[in-house]
Structure 1
Amino acid sequence: MNKEEQHYHVSVLYKEALEGLHIKPDGIYVDCTFGGGGHSRGILAQLNKKGRLIAFDQDADAQRNLPEDERVIFIPQNFKYLQKFLRLYKFPKVDGVLADLGVSSHQFDEAERGFSIRFDGPLDMRMDKRLERTAASVLASASEKELVEIFSHYGEVSNAKTLAKHITTNRSMSVFATIDTFKNFISPVVKGNPNKYLAQVFQALRIEVNDELGALKEMLEQLPEVLNEAGRAVIITFHSLEDRLVKTFFKQGTFEIEQEHPFLNSTRQNPLFNITKKPIVPSEKELKENKRSRSAKLRIAEMR
């Protein structure tokens, strides 16, 4: 990995993710979140000339990191369109799917992207710049009830109701064009550690703007349709909402809560075998080298 790629994003749980895929030299693999290309390069290193890598990334900046390799097909789209584009490129079935759901270091470190509380810049937060909805437009248009749901569910903000009411009551007097103007605007209702509080608020807005949980659910539901028999899915999550979805789907093959009936046996068979009963987490060495890995959890499922 060269210095530019290293700066873009350090691949979390790199060795564990590649091992989890059980890569076949002539296999077909998907990297749903190409980013800096770290995981993708690891996959390519284990593929022969017949092997193929299909890389998805909705962020146009990621294309700068593409290797010159005829085995790579790059798809500049959200991974929720996984099955659609695999069919389009005549790869209806694949041997493995990898998704690293973390926001890249590059996105956090570019002030104009609006992801980080550390810099001033536009209150944007779009991973795909083709989207119309920004964090600023969400704050300007969402109802108080919608904002409570966003902040409490996506950010676990302790005083979500107070924050939502403060925004909707006073937003006519302020324009949330930049990060600093928004931070100053909500400063009267910040509770506890300001940095932690703002990080939770920003996470909630980012998830809402990019429909991150909706896209994740759509992608997971397509796995049984796109994986070959014994094909692997490896998903790296970075917060409890994502991990809960992955854990539930790998365990049940659905997001619906199954009610146990004393007189009926469920006939529904989960097409996925959940390999990781407990998630794989970063080693002490990785935690020291990359602090952003501290909340990462890796789960693996295999197609029966």
Structure 2
Amino acid sequence: MKRYIVMRLFFVTLLLYMAHLTGCGISTSVYEIGRVMPGERPGLKKKVLVLSVIDQAGIGEEKSERITASLVELLKKDRRLLVHRSTTPIPPPSKIRSPQYGMAIDPELAQRSETMGMHAVITGILTPFEFDSKKTGIWPFRRLRRIFEISMIVNVLDVTTNTLLFTELKSAKKKTKRDVSEGQEEKSAIDKKIVDRGLSHILEDQASAIKKVLKNRPWTGRLISADGKKIMINGGKNVGITAGSVFEVFGEGESIPSASGRTIYLFGPKLGDIRADEVTENYASAVPLAGERFRAGQVIRLKN
């Protein structure tokens, strides 16, 4: 029953968060983008920003930071990703406007992530442990064992579109090896080694799921500037752009006002093609091949 209530709160929170970020039309934007921007051939790497895991289980800052570090290392094993760990402290609840469960991200951080050329922002929440007791053995040798459930939620936010790409809760049930008494406190029955093993399995599953989701998403970038015939792209050698790479440029589609005052634009019609000319580590300049009306902020995609 408690798990059902938690999940209800979780999904309500996600809806509230996305309503705050984009105002309305959440499902429409996700499916519209999937239709307009189909998959591409592999090549360009995707920059992702991992935020510190939010500890609602009470395991402590040091342990939660180790969990974040472990998630980062697991994601780094995928060579198609450029993984960055955020050093920004977690904002207070009043700023992120997030209830107890669900997506939690500072809107200002989302804006900075876009400026940094990030493809996605990853958040994680370690939820409070769930406890239960189970009697084992036969009378008069019955024993009371404590069973606790470890759960972690991860969310992947598409920075370009401000849409939620992926959210998943993974759980692991563990049973204490020692007996417990009826009145014993729940936390006193927790074996730290068992918790570590449970979290290790959860992190591996979550990392695999995140990598699969990002693999199936097309690489997208933005025009930083478009002055006459000189165009700047927010990606360079670091993501695999080389001189001669050709990109499609898309205009602004339907606009959605967000609660923060920003206007979010869905992908619109293709405006033309541009070709990378000079490439540095983090940026690239490009020249128009076809089309016009290029300007800063427009979305680009590697042309197949």
After TM superposition, the score normalised by the length of structure 1 is: 0.26
User: What is the TM-score of this pair, normalised by structure 2?
Assistant: 0.26
Larger Cα-atom Rg: 2
The structure whose residues are more often strand, as a share, is 2
